[in-house]
Amino acid sequence: MNKQRVLISAFLCAFLALNPPITSFGEESDPSGAVRVEYEDLRTLLKEGNLTLKKTIADQEDTINAYQEMWDTMKWEQDNMEDKAEDLSNENGETSAVYSSNASMLKASASRIYNQIKNLTDEKSARTIEKSADSYTYTAQTLMNSYNQMAQNRYAAEKNVQALEASYQALVRKSTAGSATQAQVLSEKSSLDIARNSLESLREQERELRFRLLTMLGLEDREDVVIGAIPAPDMEAIAAIDFESDKQKAVGNDSNVQNERHTRAYSTADINRRFKQVGEAEGTAEASIQYAYQELESRVIQYQAALESYESALLIYQSLQRKQAAGLLSNTEYLEGEAAYAQKQAAKETASMNLVQAYESYCWEVKGVN
């Protein structure tokens, strides 16, 4: 990763200069009072809105509250019995003994209930719920990333269709004037039809991903619900990765490794089998984090290439805008240039989001969520 760190550090300045905040094309506007879905808020939104996750949390809270009510009742009765036993200790020893016996019984039951409450509120139980929240968050991050990629590429496809429509209309006029053949017109029409079909496919997929994400978050798919953009990749955090340290954490946090390590062995054969199974689980976990790390490295390289390509496209587009302002371009030429720029921009944003996803996946692997 040393070479990778050098590469990352070398283009950090260029990255900051050329990577302004990503605009979300998922919504055309952000009306006042709109519900915004931001990437960093997904976990909170899931806990508040996802029906399954809410039920898991609520069920545990209801159980704790029920046990707490039982404990309060028994503790009150225990104190009451002890007071009565003490009051009657000199007057009626037999009745006092009955109260004392019941107080002891209530105390024992209250102690067991207290242990149940303690088990439900201990770190392990809390981790179980947080593990569920981790899995839901990872899934929501993936859906939101995919949605934004579709939105970016849909926008670029719209620009491409606009350019092809202008080109097609220009060819039709030329054909009428006798300066373009029917074959050229038909070829352009075919390209336009293909582009329109591709655009409709992207729109459909964008709508589908939006619906699935909002449903997962427990939100209605309304116009006033705005899905925010995916943040830019944290290049400094990526460059600071200590893979060997992370690999050890990933293996230790892997659920299969944990299960195998805690399997009881009563005989020599069981012990040997356990060592083998632990080794296999650790090997699988190491391979998984290694793959995530290699995928991250690959996405870094792809992003660097896309960023450099976008830099060139931006210069060309700025020149195009100056020519258009000076009246040196036809409408078709400008739309074609704008479409080419939008495509490069979409490619850069897609590479950016792929890198964010790769980094998130790597971090989840380290935490044992895979």
Q: What is the pLDDT along the chain (370 residues), one digit of tens a residue?
A: 454 544 444 444 444 444 443 444 433 445 557 899 999 999 999 999 999 988 888 888 887 888 788 788 878 888 888 888 888 887 777 778 877 888 887 787 778 777 777 776 766 667 778 888 898 999 999 999 999 999 999 999 999 999 999 999 999 999 999 999 999 999 999 999 999 999 999 999 999 999 999 999 999 999 999 999 999 999 999 999 999 999 999 999 888 888 888 888 788 887 888 889 889 889 999 999 999 999 999 999 999 999 999 999 999 999 999 999 999 999 999 999 999 999 999 999 999 999 999 999 999 999 988 6
Do 212 and 238 belong to one domain? no
41 lies in a domain? no
Q: What token pair was written down for 279? A: 């080794």
Q: What is the pLDDT of residue 30?
A: 52
Do 221 and 243 belong to one domain? no
Do 289 and 352 belong to one domain? yes
Last residue of a domain, one of 180, 207, 229: 229
Q: Give Cα 309 to chain centroid, integer Å.
A: 27
Other beta carbons less than 10 A from residue 121's beta carbon: 13
Do 113 and 209 belong to one domain? no
344 lies in a domain? yes
Q: What is the pLDDT of residue 17?
A: 44
69 lies in a domain? yes
Asked if 304 contacts 11 with a C-beta cutoff of 8 angstroms, the reply is yes
- Structural domain that includes position 263: 1-22+232-370
Do 294 and 167 belong to one domain? no
307 lies in a domain? yes
Do 287 and 328 belong to one domain? yes
Last residue of a domain, one of 62, 90, 121: 121
User: pTM for this structure?
Assistant: 0.76
200 lies in a domain? yes
Do 225 and 250 belong to one domain? no
Do 368 and 249 belong to one domain? yes
Q: What is the pLDDT of residue 77?
A: 83
Q: What token pair was written down for 264? A: 């009881």
CB burial readout 300-338, b (16+ within 10 A) else e: bebbbebbeebeebeeebeebeeebeeeebeebbbbbbb
Do 248 and 194 belong to one domain? no
36 lies in a domain? no
Last residue of a domain, one of 191, 210, 229: 229
Do 248 and 365 belong to one domain? yes
Instruction: Say how many domains are in the chain.
Output: 3
Q: What is the pLDDT of residue 226?
A: 97
32 lies in a domain? no
35 lies in a domain? no
Do 279 and 194 belong to one domain? no
| Nearest CA among 309, 269, 282, 297 for reference residue 358 | 297
Do 176 and 254 belong to one domain? no
